[in-house]
Structure 1
Amino acid sequence: MRAELWQEQRLKLSLTKELTQAIELLQYSAVELQSFLYEQSLDNPFLEIRDYRLKRSYRDSSDKEKQRWIENISTHSETLSLHLIAQLPALSLSEREERVVRYMIASLDEDGYLRVEIEEIAARLAISKQEAEKALQIIQSLEPAGVGARSLQECLYLQLKRLPHRDELAEQIVQHHFSLFVEKAWKTLAKQLDIDIASLQRVWDLIRTLEPRPGIHYTKEMPHFIVPDLIIERSDEGDWRIFCNDDVHPELAWNRAYEQKISGYRDGQVQSFIKDKYRQFLWLTKSLEQRKQTLLNIMHVIVDKQKQCLEAGFAALKPLTMREVAEELGIHESTVSRAVKNKYVQTPFGTVELRRFFSNAVSSVYADDDAASSVKVKMFIKQLIEQENKQRPLSDQKIADLLHERYGVAVSRRTVAKYREQLHIPSSAKRKQYVGK
């Protein structure tokens, strides 16, 4: 009975490990995937990577060129995920702990926030909530400070705790009085804390030096050379054809010659080693094919929905959400989100990020028009705010009125506020500049 239980636990751990790796593989960028496959080929002597130009050019180059190639990978392609994973070996985590931490790292958004509920992660990995929370604490201890936060409030608090000189007042305000503080209800807050306004201003100035988006510096520093995962071409007949970039999705092969060479050893450990590496090879082959097929399926839906955009450019972008694509393909929205993350597609008008084909719908006042793209509305909002009187900034309601009057787009005040926040533009009260300021 104990043996059966042990086998069941081992299988569950193995499945969890492979699930984590499959999710990581799905959301790797092209350059990250190339680096990952190269590492796998070093770890698995039976693994051969065929028709892989970057790998082939690496093998055929001189030692100096090899070093330069490696330096380019580390300098230009380190994303937030890779930066965090590189810090894990120093923590001496157990295999189980590292798998959970890696899963959470794969779940972070581009700003470095964890938008998935802890309970959901625990359920997916079949672990306790306490294990999931411990993994999150590990991530929050990594660099950059603030990574792994679930809200802006937590992000700032994590950074304050890491300052060389702790500021107890700032920590107290962010942890317990954040709403009053950011809304600048300072008179009320000063009275509650029995401090003066000057102290609040000092805390405000300190917090403005913190980074509200700890992952932003990594997502902006994407590779200087962009490798598209997908290629879209128009045939002579006018149809759109979609291909996967073979340089990103190479052919993997099992080195049978090496297997035969060491299979003669009757050592049980050798046989176990071969079986383990073969299972890894099968998983990697299956996961690569799954990644490739998922991207192709998503791109087929995008091409079907965004034909005008492909013909006329992003000015003709139609509303399309990841949820719509997920429903059409019968997969989870989070799968689409992970698959699209850090992916590029080569189009007739240039290589663009796959995310650019997605946009929320906003109703138009013109009945014969398609729903306006949220991208356009955000652009209008940004223009209006840039042109406003800084001493009398536009309220969200006034912006909504101007959108209706000037552009024929009907949106509510709440929608304007949501888009403004997504643009990281503060409210009118916080944008106001006083005379002489």
Structure 2
Amino acid sequence: MNTNIKMYQSSNVTQQLNLAPQLLNWLKILQVSSVELSELVDRELVSNPALEAASPEESPMADDIGSDVLASSADGIDLCRSEVGERLGVLADIDEEWRLADEPRLSSSHVLQEKHDFTMDHIASTSRLQDELEQAILFADLSETHAEAARIIAGSIDGRGYLDASLEDIAKASGLDVSEIAVVLEKFQALAPAGIGARDLRECLTLQLKAMDSDTELAQMLVNNWLDHLAAGRAVMVADHLGEDADKVEAAFRLIRTLDPEPGKNDPSVPTEYVEADLEIRSKNGELHVELLDERLPKLQLSSYCKRLLDARQGSKADLEYIRGKVREASFLIQGISQRQDTMLKVARQIVRVQQEFLSSENGALQPLTMNKVAAMIGVHETTVSRAIANKYIRTERGLIEMRSFFKVGYRCADGSSVTPERVKTRLEAFIDAEEALKPLTDAHISERFKKEGLKVARRTVAKYREELGIPSSKERLIRARRREELAIAV
């Protein structure tokens, strides 16, 4: 046994950034909602003697404190106001580097953009189910009467995610025919999370299967006709009866077992959460203007009493250091709120500039817009935009809208312009509406038509959008057309 122990000395150089707690708090101020910020300010007013609410006739006096007050304290940080802004920018850059450090290279820029926007969007917490349904209806291509009926349907969803009202009751409440409500329900189910809005278990499972990218026709058929045999484990018997391969039937049963029979119970935020608008977009003389809604926030200023103590150098060294630290914390809070409001305004103005059509008309459509593009417009880092829109809402003539809902990835056209997925879906519906009944267009044919119009939309994407719109496959459309023709001949 070798017991020789050798010791070595070595040195290496590493870079390390120690983030000041104040800077981390500043990033939190940028990201929190108006309700949370108001609560944070209330706590600081109670706990920090150097911070006070200014009366209406007074103005905040953070700028009256000299740099000597903000400099040098027990934590060893030496920052003036301009340096604080620089450090915030550096922090955003480092945040971006950490986020991308382990990200693999992707061959498709569109896939990379979708993954990137997913990361950016989920900095904000997930919305409740009802909020998600309301947002989906708002941005859907629905007529006013159909949108109102869809809202009635959304309000009739129970805790499991099922529709807790009959089509007849919804028809009476909306003033539409039952047949028209059935069409609206199909569109609603395509807009909602998979399985939400189903009327029974079979429909719930079928909706989840239809939302999958893979071929699930066998599983759908088993759900509709052989669901009772699933729990009994009769895959072989069902396969023999259908003349299908037993392994395929067993695989389909396994897939069905992974589905959620009560998708509504997955809502992560069941307790009611109240939100307030941070900004408002108003039309004045035919032009859209953005206004901050910060009445809830008190106007903050540094305590004149603490300032006098520091100026007079009254008190022990420990007392003065304590007061200086509290003054610096208060100053960071005041400047952080100012930075937050300014950044939100800049982002909202760019939203108004790009989304004029959507904000000015009830039938207006969203234009493609990314956080990267807005960041370049206002001269900040992309992660700053992401934090600035997280948990923020804008009051518009079309209702209260979450800021991140205005950001949509677009499809690049041959002429350099972009269109949103919603417009691609509208064009897809137009293709199918104009097709010959007995010669329906396949998903591949529709993909080729998009290509001729300068849009690259994959066949799988066409299938996904078609199912979201509640449009049957070309095979099913052909079968229905033949049945209609046979009935017409018989008559």
TM-score with structure 2 setting the length: 0.44
Normalised to the residue count of structure 1, the TM-score between the two structures is 0.48
Bigger relative contact order, structure 1 or 2 (CA pairs below 8 A, ≥6 apart): 2
